[in-house]
Structure formats: structure tokens, C-alpha cells
Amino acid sequence: MRSGPRGRRNERAAGAERVGKLIEDLRAGRGGALVVRGEPGIGKTTLLDDAVRRAAAVRRDAGPGGDVRVLRAAGVEAEAGLPFAALQMLLRPALGRLDALPDTQAAALRGALGLAAGAGADRFLVGVAVVGLLSELAAERPVLCLVDDAHWLDPASAEALLFAARRLTAEAVAVVFATRDGFEAPGLPELELTGLDPEAAAALLAEHAPDLSPAVRDRVIAEAAGNPLALLELPAGLDAAQRAGIAATPAALPVTGRVLAAFGAQIGRLPAGARTALLVAAAEGTGDLGTVLRAARALGASAADLEAAERADLVRTTGVSVAFRHPLVRSAAYQDAPLTARIAAHEALAGVLDGDRRALHLAAAATGPDEAIAAELERAAASAGARGALASAVPIYERAAGLSPDPGERARRLTVAAQSAITSGLTEQAGALAERAARLTADPALRAGLAMVRATVEFERGSPRGAARHLLENAEPIAGEDPGLALVLLVLAAGDAWASGEEATLRAVASLAAALRPGGTAATGAVPGGLVAGDPRVTASVSGHGSPATGPDRIAASVVALAGLAAGDFAGALPVLQELVTASRTAPAPGLIARIHVCGIALALGDDEAALELAAHDIGRSRRRGTTGALPTMLLAQAWAQLGAGLHPDAEASVDEALLFVRDTGQNHRFARLGAVTARLAAIEGDQARCLESARRTGACPGNAGGGIAETVAAGECAVGLLDLGLGRYAEAVRRLSAVARGPVRYTAAALNAVPDLVEAAARAGSPEAGREAFARYAAWARASVHPWVKAVALRCEALLAGEDAGAGELFADAVRLHAEGGRPFERARTELAYGEWLRRARRRSDARGPLRSALEIFGRLNAAPWAERARTELRATGETAPAHRPGEDVLDRLTPQELQVVRLAAGGASNRDIAARLFLSHRTVEYHLYKAYPKLGVTSRTELSRLPALARAADPA
């Protein structure tokens, strides 16, 4: 989202303009965010300083308040390993308002900032708390958050601040990040600053270095390349003879290197004691004056030496802090010092510090393996993880591994680093760490944990085939000793093999699962999320104490049944799977991986009601506990179930919420899978542009980026096939859907559910034989299914294949009666449409009107425009005038996805604060959405809201 190229002068003016616009929006109660990029010295900090001056002059037009409240922080290179260091700096003035947050959020933020003991907070719960806290502040007066040097933010702070910046648009909160390259902020608007033009550069030099000779001035302008800091500092590094052009100037270097060299020259002219004091301040990083002086004294330097550096305008001190004039001064002070001096500085700092900071300085001073330091670092990393800063813990675990003399300990610490990385969305880093660890260990439990990490990496790369292989290979060695852990791997492997169409792998997984006896045993190995061998939470992945109907033995049996389902043994597989799904509705499986597995089975069976219940169980649990790890997966499942149940606006809302988390976590495969849901919704509505765009995200359609997970690609292709069918492009639909029906994932829910589309397209194209082979498989599924809608659709297909045969009418009539038992309203309307068409062609016009009216009503409610138009045309052909289609006849279609989520919860009696906590929003944002939604729905109160029939059609899933 970067701005396009501009002239250098215009680019700088545009930066001031964009920041000014943010502040103007604050006056109107609107939030926003901006990422300002540029090389060191280009003027990013100056732009933030200008924002502070502008903010000081702003008054709100109405209501209480005053000046804009400015919160400011900066990333510091030396603090990049300290979890939440920058967040603490930014929020320090606001900590008195923590009690206004919900208890779980307040506890998470206190733990993150070291104000209370950490309790294993979810990585995003801290971000939710930041949203809430800034919202509380914005209720009093607008808030402007300025974050300088964002490329040096510690990962935990960066994650929390980006999470908040994406969600505060409805609040009077603006967030501006200033950064060099290296800070990724997907989804936020960006502006890149470039240098001054030659005329402005010459004017700056004339003001600050008027004694330069013309030749030297021209060279400085050329080498500075418009960089304001370089224009000021390059002359400062020249002596009088060089400034006058009498002596040669230094050789040309890149701009940053020249500026560093100029600062280095200034530091080099200081006395030795001052250079030592500067080095200690640079190594300490946080600017704590007391710590710097205590460590400096251990090296023979004093406060007077620091004063000498201050007189040279390299640092500024207050009674409690020391700050470098520019980050490049700090870099020069540290980088130009000899290695021995840097080691001594870190040793001195470790001697005056304790806890995590002591461990980090000991590690910086270490020159070889040291178990004592490695153990201290591991404790520091565990502490970071307990505070919800797993991303910050990764490099600490990795450094601990590097300092471990024992190869086994090194492998274990690398394994935990890899698990922390994968949980933090650092996919490629996790993969590299896991590869290193795998080369160091033969321990089956560690290798099992590494297999899960490597499988996730492979899946993200679009290779579930590779993921399943890693899992299966590592399940076999532990199957006898630890069947519970082996079952965890096999459940995941089954899902990956299923998604990739690898039936041979699925059979191998099923064979091993059939031989397991996991009941009564507990998994004790490693799973993703920083859990290692022996962690009791591992057991909850699949194994655990629960109902025998949903326990480990039944989960293992379901893996075997999935292989049968893929092979077409519907009669043998479906009863086993349905029994597990039905039992899970009253006695959910005890572990999260198992519950996700069962919810996926419910979707595969077409049991939308059960899938909604099972997804709601874990979505509700996540919302209540303030945890987000499983939310994208369960929201995806919920969206598919809502789509099947005809709750299209709700499905859109689930997709939108999931996309926010996917953007935060960088989970590309989930982004593609969510695209499949959107593509099908758009296909039903006849929205060709949106359908094709969404399908391309899945890897389907010509012109896509290539690759993709087979199951997801097939779902995208099926959506486009349905679009073709709805728009009357029958030959195209037959071609596309036939390929899916013959493809490697023909057994998946998307492919099976597309068989009726293929049959209808083939029948309408005049080539019914094209759909018969695929229908034989669908008919076998329908015979084994307990769901009336599945049997009804099979009867519809039989009737379509029968053509004008008199028996078709009876098949259609039986199908309509089965549809009346519930499920899949879109399919019911299609059956009624097809039946009405058949009746009209049979010259039974009065009989045709009933099913056609019903079809039209359902299609209108689902906003299925092309299908509604067909029903309307048929109804007119019977002699009945049909009303014109009005998109959005359902009042809920007037709402945005997030407004719909909010009003559903409000209608159910939840308070604004309850809604905010459940949806990971601020309560001010909830108020904003209700304010926008009430007029659209024609209500003025929660009481009226609760009485709306449209909201009664589906309970809130949370």
C-alpha cells in the first residue's frame, strides 16, 4: 500500500500532509494509521516531531477534552530482545487506566509489562488489551501514538501495536510508525520519504556549513543524495583544511556509512573515559542512567566522562536517563569499539543487573558454550513466553541453544525455539530451526514435536503431502511407547493427506491408527505452541479423560473411517463418523486438535447443525478465555456451516473476522481457504468478479499465482462451476466440475457437494451422461447418510437425469418432502425450482406455482440473484406475476459483517463490554457499530433489536 513515486520535495510535503490529515481526522473522532519509511537521516523523526507540534494545537470541536494526548516510543536496537520494551515505553503514561479493562485483558497487559506475574497469556490478548486501553483514553480526548525506529521494535511490541493499529479505525486514535526497511506492516497505508532536491540541499548546507568551498559543497551534496542528516553531519567530520578544499576528503561511502564514519570521527576525538561511557550506554540500550553509570564505574569511567560526551552533543542526559542524539551515534559508539571492549561492557552491565536483562548481557559477552548462561537464557525465554511474547522468546531460545555444550540440550532448546516460532507465525524461521534441531537428535519425542513444526511449514508452503509424510514417519517410532502422542500426529497427518488427495498416505495413516491402543494413555511428547515433552497440556491435544464415545479410541477409529470414506466405502465409514459427531455434541472431545478434527468431519458429512454447534463451542471458549490460537480455524469451519445453513451474512462476518487474524499471523493457507468460502457465496449471488477474484486466492482459475492445496483449489473450482451453472454457462460448468469429480480430492465435501451441480449442468447442456459416473458415487454417499437434505438432493439428481420421464415427477416430489425436514435452504430452493420447471413443462401450471413461489422466496432471502431470476421467469410462464427482485430484501444484508456480529450479540442481551471482549474489539468500537446499525435496521433500542425476526433465525455462535 505504498504511495506512488513523487518528486523529492513533494514527497516530503506529502508526508506532512498525510500526518496532518490523521490529526484532522482525530478531531472528527476517526482513527487511522500510517507507516512512514525511509533511510536513516531522511527526516522520519522530524516528521514525528512536527506531528507533536500539530497535535498540541488541536482542540476538539465539541465535548470535553483538550489537546491531543501524544504517546511516544521508539525501537532501540539493544532492546529488541526485551519483550514488550517498546510497548511499556509507549503506554507508561496510561497504566493508571488498566483497571478499566476486562479482567483477562488487564491481567494479560500487566503480565506483559512486568507489572504482575505472567500467566501464559495468548499472544494476541495483549493486543486486544492495547486496543481497549487506547479506546479508554480516546473517550477523554484524541490519542496520537508515535513509534519511531519501528524496525528495532521487539517482536512482541510490534505484534501488539500492529494488532491494535488495524482495529482502531472507529476510535479517535491514530498510530504512526516511522521505520527503515525491515518492518512489515501488511494492511496499513504507507508513505516512503525520499531526499531533498539539490536546490533544497544547497540551501541547508549554506545555512549550517557556510565555510565549505564550492567544490567540497558540491561533493557533499552529491554524496549525501538529499539525506538531511548526511548534509549536516558530513561537514562535521571534516577538518578545516578539508572544508576549505585544501586537503583531500575521505573516500566515498554509502550514505549511512558516511554518516556513521562522521559520528565515529567525532567519538574518536573524545577522551578514553568518555568513549567507554558512551560504549556502556550503547550496550545498555534502555537509557537507564543509573545502570549505565554503575557499569561504567566498573570499567574505570565516571559521570564526568559522560558529561564530556554530552558537551560534544552526542548524548543528552536527564536525572534518570541518557539518550543518544541519533540512533546512528549509538551504532557508531558500539560498532567502532574493539571486540574486547564490547565484551567488557556487557560483562559490566551483567554485573549490575539481574533477571532477564542480566541473562541477555551475559549471553552477549559469552565467547563459547556455557551451560550456566544457556540455562539463564532459557529461563528468560520461558518468562517471555509466559507473558505472551513467544516471538521475542524465539531468538533467546536460539541463543541458549547456541551456548549449550551438550548436543541433546542444544536440540531440545532449538526444538522449543522452533515451536515458539511456528506459534508466532514465523514460518520460515521455524522451519530453519526445526531442520537444525532434527540433525542433532534421535529422541523420538523431540522428533515428534519437530515433525509437527515441519508439517506446519510444509502446509504453509502449499505441500500438505510433505506435511503428512513428516507426521507419519515420526508417528511410527513412538506408536508403541507413546500411543497418545502418536495419535496426535496421525490425526494431523490424516487431515494433511486428505487435503492433498494422497489416498496411499491416508491408507498408511489409517493402518497405523488401527493398530494403536491409545485409550487410557496420555500423550507425553511435544506439540506446537512451545509445549515440550512432559508438559501436561500435551495430553489435551487429543488424549484425555472424557466420554468413551469421544475418547482416543474413537478418534483413532475415525482416522480409519476417513480412509474408507476417501476410498468410497460410504456404508462402512459414514456410521462410524456420524456416531462420533453426534456424541461430540453432548460430550465434546477433551482436546482441541480432536475437536477441530471432529468439526471437520461434521462438515464432510454435511451435518451443518452439528458443525455450527461444535465450532461455536470452541469459538465461545476462545472468546471467554481471551485466546485466539484456534479462532481462524474454527471461524473457517463456522463460515462453511453458516453458508450451508443459509446464514450468508453470518458466513461473511465469520470470514471477515478470520481474515483479520490470518493477516496478523501470516497463515497463507487459511487465507486461501477463506477465499473458497467467499467464492461460493459470490457464486450463489451471481457476482462474477468477486467469485473469480476469491477463487484465484484458492489457486483455482486461469491466471492464478500457481500451486495451491488440492482440496482448496478444488473448492475454488467448484465455486466457479456453480457460478457458470447459475449464469447458464452449462458447457463450461460441465468441463470444470467434471475435472474436479475425476480429480484426487473427489471425496472431499466441496467436490461431493458439487456433483449435483455437475449433474444439473450436464442435464441442461443436453449431455446427461457426463454426470452419471460422478452421481453414482454421490448416490452411494446419500444412501449411507442420515441427513434428509443429502437424500433429497440425490433424488433431484435422479429426476434431472430422468429428463421428461414420468417417473421424474415422483422423484422430485419425494425430494421436496425430504427437504421439508430441514437443512441446506439453497439446495431446497433449487429442488423446488427444478420441480416447478418440470411441472410447467408437463403443463401442470397451477401445481408448479407452489414450489416456484417457495424457491423464489428462498433465493430472494439468500440474495441468489441469477437463481431468483430463473424462478421468477418460470413463475411468469405459469401465468402468475412475480415481484421484481430487490437485492438485500433481508434487512441483515444492510449491515456490514462486523455490525452483524455486534447486533446479534446485543440482541442476545450482551453488554457493550461483553461484546467487546468476545469480538476482541474496544467497547467504543461496539458503540460505533450499534450507532451505525440501528438506523439500517429501523430500531432505536436493544429491546426492539431483540424482537427483530431476522435476528431470531440463528443464535449467535459465540
Give the residue, 691 or 216, on which the prediction is more confident. 691
* Spatial distance between the Cα atoms of 183 and 175, rounded to a whole number of angstroms: 15
Flag whether pLDDT at 562 surpasses 90. Answer: yes
User: In terms of domains, do 204 and 181 share one?
Assistant: no
Residue 622 lies in a domain: no
Of 605, 627, 643, the residue at which a domain comes to its end is 605
Say whether both 872 and 899 belong to one domain.
no
- Least confident range from 30-39, 371-380, 701-710: namely 701-710
Rounded distance, CA 297 to CA 388, Å? Answer: 36
- Indicate whether 225 and 323 sit together in one domain: no
Q: Answer yes or no: is pLDDT of 848 > 60.
A: yes
What single-letter amino acid sits at 749?
Answer: A
**CATH code of the domain covering residue 945:** 1.10.10.10
Measure the CA–CA gap between 454 and 418, rounded to whole angstroms: 9
474-480 long-range CB contacts below 8 Å, 24 or more apart? 474/444, 474/447, 474/448, 474/450, 475/448, 475/451, 475/509, 475/512, 476/512, 477/444, 477/447, 478/444, 478/445, 478/448, 478/525, 479/512, 479/515, 479/516
Cell of 280: 556502556
The answer to whether residue 643 sits within a structural domain is: no
Contacts of 471 (CB under 8 A, 6+ apart): 451, 452, 455, 489, 490, 492, 493, 496
**Per-residue confidence (pLDDT) for residue 92, from 0 to 100:** 93
Q: Is the pLDDT of residue 795 over 90?
A: yes
Q: Angle 343-347-353 (CA atoms, 0-180°, nearest 5)?
A: 140
The average pLDDT across 81-87 equals 91
Say if 417 falls within a structural domain.
no
Residue that is last in its domain, among 146, 174, 192: 192
Q: Tell whether 851 and 908 lie within a shared domain.
A: no
Helix (H) or strand (E) holding 315: strand 315-317
Q: What is the pLDDT of residue 248?
A: 67
Regarding whether 598 and 471 lie in a shared domain, the answer is yes
User: Average pLDDT of 289-306?
Assistant: 96
Q: Stretch 267-281: mean pLDDT, rounded?
A: 95
Q: State whether 560 and 452 are in the same domain.
A: yes
Q: How does the average pLDDT of the chain come out, rounded?
A: 87
Q: Are residues 186 and 210 in the same domain?
A: no
Distance set, CA 181 to CA 190, 222, 296, 908 (Å): 12, 23, 33, 47
Alpha-carbon distance of 326 to 264, in angstroms, equals 13
For residue 152, the 8-state DSSP code is: G
Question: Minimum mean pLDDT among 290-304, 690-704, 732-746: which range?
Answer: 690-704
Give the confidence band of 539 by pLDDT, cuts at 50, 70, 90.
very low
- CATH number of the domain residue 481 falls in: 1.25.40
Would you say residue 937 has pLDDT above 90?
no
Contacts of 535 (CB under 8 A, 6+ apart): 526
Question: 650-667: per-residue pLDDT in tens?
Answer: 999 999 999 988 877 767
Domain count, the chain: 6
pLDDT in the model for residue 3: 41
Take residue 464 and report the three cell numbers written for it: 500438505
Q: Does residue 795 belong to any structural domain of this protein? A: yes
- For residues 784 and 843, membership in a common domain is answered with yes
pLDDT of residue 546: 53
The larger pLDDT score, comparing residue 232 to residue 247, is at 232
Inter-residue contact 252 to 259 (CB < 8 Å): no
Residue 947 located in a structural domain? yes
User: What are 298-302's contacts with CB under 8 Å, separation 24+?
Assistant: 298/348, 298/351, 298/352, 299/344, 299/345, 299/348, 300/273, 300/276, 301/273, 301/274, 301/276, 301/277, 302/273, 302/277
Of the residues 853, 877, 901, which one is the last residue of a structural domain? 877
> Average pLDDT for residues 186-196, to the nearest whole number?
88
- Vertex 396 angle, CA 392 and 397, to 5°: 110
pTM, full prediction: 0.83
Range of the domain at 908: 891-952
Contacts of 902 (CB under 8 A, 6+ apart): 915, 919, 926, 929, 930, 933
pLDDT of residue 771: 93
Same-domain pairing of 685 and 826: yes
In this prediction, residue 121 carries a pLDDT of: 63
Give the whole-angstrom CA distance, residue 388 versus residue 105: 12
Q: pLDDT tens digits for 436-494?
A: 999 999 999 899 999 999 998 998 888 889 999 999 999 999 998 889 899 999 999 99
Amino acid code (one letter) for 706:
G
In-domain check, residue 573: yes
Residue pointed to by grid coordinates 522520519: 44
CA proximity to 207, closest of 228, 238, 227, 177: 228
Predicted confidence at residue 396, as pLDDT, reads 95
Please report, as a single letter, which amino acid is at residue 485.
Answer: L
pLDDT band at 551 (very low <50, low <70, confident <90, very high): confident
Over 517-552, what HEC string results? CCCCCCCCCCECCCECCCCHHHHHHCCCCCCHHHCH
Give the number of other Cβ atoms within 10 Å of residue 673's Cβ. 26
CA distance 355 to 396: 14
Rg (Cα) of the chain, in Å, rounded? Answer: 32
Query: Can you give the pLDDT at residue 59?
Result: 52
Asked whether residue 149 falls in the same domain as residue 227, the answer is no
Distances (CA, A) of 829 to 452, 547, 726, 755, 819: 44, 39, 13, 17, 9
Give the model's pLDDT for residue 313. Answer: 92
Tell whether 744 and 868 lie within a shared domain.
yes
CATH number at residue 143: 3.40.50.300
Task: Name the packing angle between helices 912-919 and 923-937 (round to 10°).
Answer: 110
pLDDT, tens digit, 9 for 90 and up, residues 856-891: 999 999 999 999 999 999 999 998 877 665 544 567
908 or 558, which is more confident: 558
Nearest alpha carbon to residue 501 among 547, 444, 463 = 463
pLDDT digits (tens, 9 = 90+) for 724-778: 999 999 999 999 999 999 999 999 999 999 999 999 999 999 999 999 999 999 9
Residue bearing the bigger pLDDT, 87 or 30: 87
Domain presence at residue 372: no
Amino acid at 774: A
Nearest Cα to 394, choosing from 661, 80, 626?
80
Element (H, E) at 498: helix 483-500
| Cβ partners under 8 Å of residue 555, min gap 6 | 487, 491, 518, 542, 580, 589, 594, 597, 598
Average pLDDT for 299-323: 93
Exposed (0-12), middle (13-18) or buried (19+): which is 343, by Cβ within 10 Å? middle
Q: Are residues 685 and 811 in the same domain?
A: yes
DSSP result, 895-927 = S-HHHHHHHHHHHTT--HHHHHHHHT--HHHHH
pLDDT of residue 328: 87
Residue 438 belongs to some domain of the structure:
no
